[in-house]
Amino acid sequence: MPGRNFLFIPGPTTVPRRIQNAMNIEQEDMRAMDLPAFTKPLYEDMKKVFKTKTGRVFIFPASGTGGWESAVANTLNAGDKVLMSGFGHFSNLWVDLCQRWGLDVHALEEDWGDGVPVEKYAEILAADKKHEIKAVFATQNETATGVASDIAGVRKALDACNHPALLFVDGVSSVGSIDFRMDEWGVDICVSGSQKGFMLPTGLGIVCASEKALACREGSTLPKTFFDWNDQIKTNDLGFFPYTPPMNLLRGLRESLNMLFEEGLDNVFARHHRMANAVRAAVSAWGMRPIANEEKWYSDTVTAVKVPEGFDGNEVVRHAYNYYNLALSISLAKIAGQAFRIGHLGDMNELMVLTPINGAEMSMKDLGYPIELGSGVAAAQEYLRSTAKPRIQQ
């Protein structure tokens, strides 16, 4: 098909030309004597994205799932009781991972449209007088349903009953796109990945651990080799890695940070919120709604659009791909076919975000959806036009 494929899934996201150029270099010696001059500032700048001064960042050749495994293997033990909640495909995968590691998982099954049940967490933690719960898990952004959760609220629940449990956060589709405050929210471990807000190809599992979490590694007996933090610490402190690192991706990560800091993190978050609002304006104009049950759950990185009864949202995705060279995202597992997803994160501006709205609208009209052609595009255009600010002062 002539022309380019338009990628609007919630990761991997579009890789900006600046980052592509930064990665398009000759292979280099990962033990070169001048490498620490590159790696040490990289780690320090990564901490700024997580908003931590005392935490430590680990970067693994992996995806977010590898980051999950690293977080568990270095801090917990088989039989440890952990509190979790499942309200989408990916939060449930995290539950599954912990169960496979032999943890005693207390998982709350929530509606796929809600987020982390902070009030339920608070009740369970307050009742845990013996502090048997060793860790509390929270997914900040559930990619499958387009639901964002209140991590600060989880910390308040822990503090209200003076509970010492570790706080784990899945920030794979939020860090770098949605505000995350590791130190302020008392997060002990946050897991992210390169292919979403960092605008890179898949391949880096990124973990940020607090001093409290780092101290737990001495008492953890779960097996680990590749994901062992101790090996990382010994070599990272010298500016190197315990195994061959993906240097091209790390060079790209450096450029990603440059771009995020040039724009300013607060501006990055505001831009994502604005792009998300444009998508939601289109969804409303179609006479539809997000899978997220309430506005407080709305994600600023992905919107799962609930389709009318009698229609298959996944068919919209297939049609858009086959006819318009547009990659949207299917709905998964429990809500398969009930929705389609539009990713609006990473390197994104006004005219870019209109593309998936336009393509989805054309596809739905082709498939007989009861929508007015142009309605969603017009609603998004009006919102973006009315909220636009000049990028260059005249």
Q: What are 232's two structure tokens?
A: 């990382």
Q: How many C-beta neighbours within 10 Å does residue 178 have?
A: 22
How far apart CA 276 and CA 7 sit, in angstroms, is 16
How far apart CA 198 and CA 260 sit, in angstroms, is 8
- pLDDT on residue 393: 59
Q: Which parts of the chain register pLDDT below 50?
A: none
Q: Can you tell me which residue has the tokens 């142009």?
A: 374
168: phi then psi, degrees, rounded to nearest 5? -100, 135
Intervals of CATH 3.40.640.10 along the chain: 17-262
- pLDDT on residue 8: 98
**CA-based angle 370:375:380, to the nearest 5?**
135
Residue 149 · residue 142 · CB < 8 Å: yes
- pLDDT on residue 110: 98
Q: Strand ranges (DSSP E) for 39-170?
A: 56-61, 81-86, 104-109, 133-139, 141-142, 147-148, 166-170
Q: What are 200's two structure tokens?
A: 């890179």
Q: Does domain 17-262 have CATH number 3.40.640.10?
A: yes
Residue 62 · residue 204 · CB < 8 Å: yes
pTM of the prediction? 0.96
For CA atoms 216, 180, 173, 135, the dihedral sign is positive
Q: Which of 285, 283, 280 is nearest to 299 (CA)?
A: 280
**CA-based angle 95:96:99, to the nearest 5?**
90
Q: Which of 306, 290, 257, 298 is nearest to 274 (CA)?
A: 298
Intervals of CATH 3.90.1150.10 along the chain: 6-12+264-386
SS (H, E, C) 212-247: HHHHHHHHCCCCCCCCCHHHHHHHHCCCCCCCCCCH
- pLDDT on residue 119: 98
Residue 252 · residue 18 · CB < 8 Å: no
Q: Which of 325, 327, 342, 332 is nearest to 376 (CA)?
A: 342
**6-12+264-386: which CATH topology?**
Aspartate Aminotransferase, domain 1 (3.90.1150)
Q: 335-377 pLDDT, tens per residue?
A: 999 999 999 999 999 999 999 999 999 999 999 999 999 999 9
- pLDDT on residue 115: 98
Q: How many C-beta neighbours within 10 Å does residue 376 have?
A: 27
